[in-house]
Amino acid sequence: PSPLDKEQAQGLKAIRHFLKVRTSYDVLPLSFRLIVLDTDLLIKKSLNILTQNGTCLLRRPISRDEHADVQLTAIVSAPLWDSDTSRFAGILTSTDFINVIQYYCQFPDEISKLGQFRLSSLRDIEKAIGAIPIETVSVHPSRPLYEACRRMLKTRARRIPLVDVDDETGRETVISVITQYRILKFIAVNNEHNTVMLKKCVREVNLGSYTNLATVHMNSTVLDAIHMMVDRNISCVPVVDAENRVLNAFEAIDVIPCIKGGAYEELDGTVGEALCKRPDDSPGIYTCGEGDRLDSIFDTIRKSRVHRLIVVDDDNKLKGIISLSDILKYVLLYGDEDAGGGREKAQQRFAT
């Protein structure tokens, strides 16, 4: 191996060590709020709650005398609570809303009933459309973070609830939810000295997907984009022009404003129209080139709200996509035979 390979391996090893000595609890901010929704709530009301909470401004204490205005970022998911059984009942995510949309497409006559569905009906909706339920896994907050990461990659869950058991009542308590995004941010912020060792570029380590890319145009319908995301089990499709130049990206959460208020007709609207409904503070897309080094990708993660990177050439034409799961997989498994991520395996995986 070249000195560059050695340094890269050393950097990865140090990050993996970091993940093994930190717990999921460490990832949580000092103060945070957790919105838990009762499964008895109407689905349409849950949509309002998610969108309302995305835009509120809070004055929070930062020290005994000082306060700061904190713009809360949009909530895109929430743990569910079944008050009949007093148990945690999974997490509500954009996939659930996409399931509701698919249900509406398959059973258009039931549109009048749709407004009466409660969050407790989500599992029935899943069954009715034949969707494979997302495995509900959880981790204990004081277990190593490495474990939460491995579990995420294994189940393809993009977020995992941290569930503890109350000593007195023996009941489960949801402490918070951790996401791939939060974990990568935590790695980036606390490992600058290790990420600088990752000098190999995206092309050299085959990071991301480059073939058979799913894309839409501005005038494609929202339903087209949704079906593409469902069929391919992906959370985003790049929006390109006729020359394959990247204009934007349509994400799973972009469906929420389209169905808020029960206006399912808006799904026949265009991707371009749907993107106009995004909140003003939405972060936009991040791009990179195939020659960009991993350390610069970690710099971007450290500084910005990155949920994926779109790989473009010098003419801004689409080349590929690097998802957070691709990055997490690389960081955890690449070259680590023991973890089941041998070099060949990782390359095969990236080539498909």
Q: Kindly list the residues in this chain that would bind ligand ADP in the complex (CB under 6 A).
A: 158, 180, 208-209, 213-214, 234-238, 321, 323-326
Provide the sign of the torsion angle of the four alpha carbons 252, 77, 97, 260, taken in this order: negative
DSSP helix/strand/coil, 279 = coil
Contact 7, 200 (CB under 8 A): no
Residues 200, 294 contacting (CB under 8 angstroms): yes
Residue type, 200: K
CB of 81 to ligand ADP, least distance (A): 25
The Cα–Cα gap between 348 and 344 comes to: 6
User: How many other β-carbons are positioned within 10 Å of the β-carbon of residue 247?
Assistant: 17
Residue with tokens 């606390």: 190
- Cα 213 versus chain centre, distance: 19
CB of 250 to ligand ADP, least distance (A): 9
Q: 234 or 288, CB closer to ligand ADP?
A: 234
Tokens of 75: 């909530």
Please enumerate in sequence order all residues whose Cβ is within 8 A of that of 254, keeping only pairs 6 or more positions apart, or say none: 222, 274, 275, 277, 278
Comparing CA positions, the residue from 113, 115, 109, 133 lying closest to residue 123 is 133
Say how far apart CA 300 and CA 305 lie, in whole Å: 8
138: CB partners within 8 A, 6+ apart: 88, 160, 161, 162, 163
- Which residues, listed in sequence order, are joined to residue 23 by a DSSP beta bridge? 144
Q: What's the longest Cα–Cα distance across the chain?
A: 65
Closest residue to ligand ADP using C-beta atoms: 323
